[in-house]
């Protein structure tokens, strides 16, 4: 009996790069004994319902789209007792979590990785009644990912986020927060905060930063907070430190946590995996260790990265 796979496909993600390769990818799986059913997403959050309703008899759940599509699928799976292994075929604009997993940029090569490698356990975050796979954030720049027009993303790719981010510089304001984090209490004015389980955020890579030391399955989030600058010089210094990934900046607070509660006297707009996550005065964020299994990062990540680069050069 053929093994059952479901492909949840967001055909509008990124620059529609997967369409010309879709039949070849399905053929790769069929040749390996998989029966592949395809579900094209019809609207926002459709992947949540598809993952929750259509994976009961599924052994492998393939996801083609951006990190937002993957996030929706994971949200749907978190409502299920049986959670099939996920194979991610990234075709979005930024693909932060795909970079974290060390996945090849080309979809057919990502498909071959799924067929040859072993899945790894990955933590998932809960946020109030929702979930996220790699980041929950608030404050400066966080609205950029979901306010950037889709047409700009398609034409300019990651540059579109930068252009939209520059426009938001004049509207930065702070939130006075009380943060309970694994038994610790923090208080202060902050312009930005992120709770993440990724080595790439908005195209910025943190793999070489020892302070982050990201492990996808350790039951811990990496938490970064940026304090409110007191003057224009401090604002410039913060921007400089961000662009140069200086996590030792005196304006940044970096810590690890498995659970934290963030409270404010005003509603804070949040972003979950690049999409609007609602505005809340208080929220509890918790790490669910080993909640899913997905093909990607493992002991062979660096070797595969070198192999990917070598093969991509040969294909050009």
Residue-wise pLDDT for 290-305, tens only, equals 999 999 855 344 444 5
Q: What is the pLDDT of residue 91?
A: 86
Mean pLDDT of 115-137: 95
Whether 114 contacts 313, CB under 8 Å = no
pLDDT at res. 45: 93
Residue 87: the pLDDT is 97
d(C-alpha 88, C-alpha 124), whole Å:
15
Q: Nearest CA to 300 among 103, 109, 121, 133?
A: 103
Q: What are the phi and psi torsion angles at 199 (to 5°)? A: -100, 0
- The CATH number of 3-117+296-315 is which of 3.40.50.170, 3.40.50.20, 3.30.360.10, 3.40.50.10330? 3.40.50.10330
- Find, among 113, 173, 122, the residue nearest to 143 by Cα: 173
So what's the pLDDT on residue 54? 85
Q: Give me the pLDDT at residue 227, please.
A: 92
- % of the chain with per-residue pLDDT over 90: 52
Gap between the Cα atoms of 116 and 298, Å rounded = 13
Q: At what angle do helices 22-31 and 107-116 cross, to 10 degrees?
A: 10
Q: Three-state SS for 113?
A: helix
Enter the pTM of the model. 0.85
Q: Which CATH architecture has domain 130-289?
A: Sandwich (2.60)
The token pair at 4 is: 């059952």
Residue 315 buriedness (CB in 10 A; 0-12 / 13-18 / 19+):
exposed
- Complete DSSP assignment for 256-302: EESEEEEEEEEEEEEEETTEEEEEEEEEEEEEEEEEEEEE--STTHH
Where along the chain do its domains lie?
A: 3-117+296-315, 130-289
According to the model, what pLDDT value does residue 73 have? 97
Three-state secondary structure call for residue 281: strand
> In this predicted model, what pLDDT tens digit does every residue of 146-172 receive, in sequence order?
444 454 444 434 444 444 454 555 567
pLDDT at 35 over 90: yes
Instruction: Give me the active site residues, please.
Output: 275
pLDDT at residue 178, as a whole number: 97
* Per-residue pLDDT reduced to its tens digit, 184-228: 999 999 988 999 998 887 666 665 554 567 889 999 999 999 999
In whole angstroms, give the CA distance from residue 199 to residue 98: 10
Interatomic CA distance for residues 26 and 3, integer angstroms: 13
**Is 90 exceeded by the pLDDT of residue 240?**
no
């Amino acid at each position: 009996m053929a093994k059952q796979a479901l492909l949840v496909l967001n055909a509008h993600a990124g620059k529609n790069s997967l369409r010309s390769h879709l039949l070849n990818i399905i053929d790769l799986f069929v040749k390996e004994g998989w029966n592949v059913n395809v579900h094209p997403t019809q609207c926002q959050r459709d992947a949540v319902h598809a993952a929750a309703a259509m994976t009961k008899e599924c052994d492998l759940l393939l996801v083609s789209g951006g990190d937002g599509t993957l996030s929706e699928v994971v949200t749907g799976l978190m409502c299920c007792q049986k959670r099939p292994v996920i194979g991610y075929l990234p075709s979005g604009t930024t693909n932060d979590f795909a970079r974290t997993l060390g996945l090849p940029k080309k979809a057919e090569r990502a498909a071959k990785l799924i067929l040859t490698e072993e899945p790894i356990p990955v933590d998932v975050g809960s946020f109030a009644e929702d979930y996220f796979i790699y980041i929950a954030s608030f404050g400066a720049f966080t609205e950029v990912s979901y306010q950037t027009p889709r047409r700009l993303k398609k034409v300019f790719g990651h540059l579109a986020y930068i252009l939209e981010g520059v426009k938001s510089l004049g509207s930065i304001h702070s939130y006075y927060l009380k943060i309970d984090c694994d038994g610790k209490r923090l208080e202060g004015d902050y312009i930005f905060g992120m709770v993440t389980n990724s080595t790439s955020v908005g195209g910025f890579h943190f793999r070489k930063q020892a302070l982050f030391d990201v492990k996808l399955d350790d039951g811990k989030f990496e938490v970064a907070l940026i304090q409110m600058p007191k003057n224009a010089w401090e604002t410039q210094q913060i921007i400089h430190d961000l662009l140069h990934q200086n996590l030792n900046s005196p304006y940044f607070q970096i810590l690890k946590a498995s659970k934290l509660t963030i409270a404010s006297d005003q509603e804070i707009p949040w972003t979950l995996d690049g999409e609007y996550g609602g505005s809340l005065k208080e929220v509890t964020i918790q790490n669910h260790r080993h909640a899913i299994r997905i093909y990607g990062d493992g002991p062979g990540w660096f070797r595969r990265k070198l192999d990917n680069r070598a093969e991509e050069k040969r294909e050009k």
